[in-house]
Amino acid sequence: MLTSSKISGGINGNVNIPGDKSISHRSIIIPSISNGFTEIDNILLSEDVMNTMNAFRAMGVKIIKNNNKLLIEGKGLNSLTSPTSEINLGNSGTTARLLTGLLSSQNFNSILIGDISLSKRPMDRIIQPLEKVGASFKSNDSKLPLEIFGTKLRNINYDLALPSAQVKSGLMLASLNIEGTNKIIERNITRNHTEIMLESFGADIDIKKIENENHIYINGQKELYSKNIFVPSDLSSAAFFIVATLINKNSLLKIDGININPTRNGILKALNMMGAQIKVNNKRTINGELIADLEIKSSDLVGCELDEDIARLMIDEYPILSIAASFASSPSLFKGLGELKIKESNRLELIRNNLDKCGIFSEIEGENLFIDPTKKSKFKSNKIDTNFDHRIAMSFAIMGTRLGTDLNILNSEYIKTSFPKFVQNLNAVGGNLTE
């Protein structure tokens, strides 16, 4: 359990944010099926990413860890070998969806398993489009454990209506091993880290932007070639520190080298609309990813209304955005959050229930979340239920820095899935967390 207490000064100084989780997963998956050595710098070595690493080790890939770097020896598109036992993905939904795609077009069978949370998450979103081209699975009612019967697939031609980077990426990874042209239409643009990395590894990929859609073409069975990777720092992890700085008086925080990829930076736009003082300095590109240094100051926030269009550009940030909205001077309305119900937990419900415990009024109507910090509501309990969800745990740890009553964050050990040094790093810039 983690206890978060009100801080005495502000949040001040410089903080190091670990490597981006989405890019870290892809930095293991793509080099493992390429030709040659890849050195990966600043990779996030959290539990989720370690699960991806162990999965590829189990399929015969040589991966050497050296401090904050990994060295991967890739031996080509069809070099993976059949795992001798089930592959345990722990809590990692990204690994589950991406590997389902990749493994469906291999020439061996495999079985994916996960923890309690992952075993409840829907896999039909990736199973169904793959079954259309001949993939074969056995699942527990479209959930893990998932048995994948690797086989030769027909060309993918799929119109993806769901705003999901995981499904898109799973289909792209399957396409790499399917001869001829595969096409994925992405109706709602989501994070494009897979596209960026595949392009830099020499994949035969072409992306046409047609109105608001992306038409992604991949010519499969073309070998990829290794390249060194520097993983930029994770905006989703930085968001906890950004909001802690904004809501606490006398705060000034600098965070360098953050990924601000336009398909990922919705949180900066949303906070900007709320009157946040965030300077984005020194923009530059590394390995095709846009990064910048951020300077954040305490701010008087106002509420805002966000449409569902922005949701796919910041889906992981609604828990922490809800904390920012709880200290604004006017209400906020966040629309189109259906996907939040099927993340590591039902985040929509947990945000509402935990805000209620903290004495902040909020309401869910369909897929929308309304937060009104101006409405009187009583503090009810300091026990924050996280349902094994790292982002809920970290968000309410930030709530505790400002609230005035200690918050006890239950099952906080799940923070390790994405940000092992969260407590240490927050305390180093003025946080008051005890484990």
Max Cα separation, the chain?
Answer: 62
Could you tell me the smallest distance in angstroms from the CB atom of residue 54 to ligand S3P?
Answer: 18
Could you tell me the smallest distance in angstroms from the CB atom of residue 28 to ligand S3P?
Answer: 12
Active site residue 124: no
CA 398 to chain centre: 19
Question: Smaller CB distance to ligand S3P: residue 234 or 385?
Answer: 234
Q: Which of 20, 115, 234, 316 is catalytic?
A: 316
The candidate with the shortest Cα–Cα distance to 343, out of 366, 370, 314, 372, is: 314
| Beta strand 229-230 pairing with 407-409 | unpaired
- The terminus-to-terminus CA distance of the chain in angstroms comes to 6
In 5-129 the beta strands, taken as DSSP E runs, fall at: 12-15, 35-41, 62-66, 69-75, 87-88, 109-113
Could you tell me the smallest distance in angstroms from the CB atom of residue 179 to ligand S3P?
Answer: 26
Question: Smaller CB distance to ligand S3P: residue 192 or 412?
Answer: 192
- Is residue 48 a contact partner of residue 415, using CB atoms and an 8 Å limit? no
In 31-103 the beta strands, taken as DSSP E runs, fall at: 35-41, 62-66, 69-75, 87-88
- Helix and strand numbers (H, E) in the chain are 13, 24
Could you tell me the smallest distance in angstroms from the CB atom of residue 109 to ligand S3P?
Answer: 25
How many CA within 13 A on the CB side of residue 193?
31
Report the length, in residues, of the chain.
Answer: 435
Nearest residue to ligand S3P, using CB?
A: 22
Q: Give the binding site for ligand S3P (CB under 6 A).
A: 22, 94, 164-166, 169, 190-191, 315-316, 339
Q: Tokens in use for 240? A: 């906890």
| Residues with catalytic function | 316
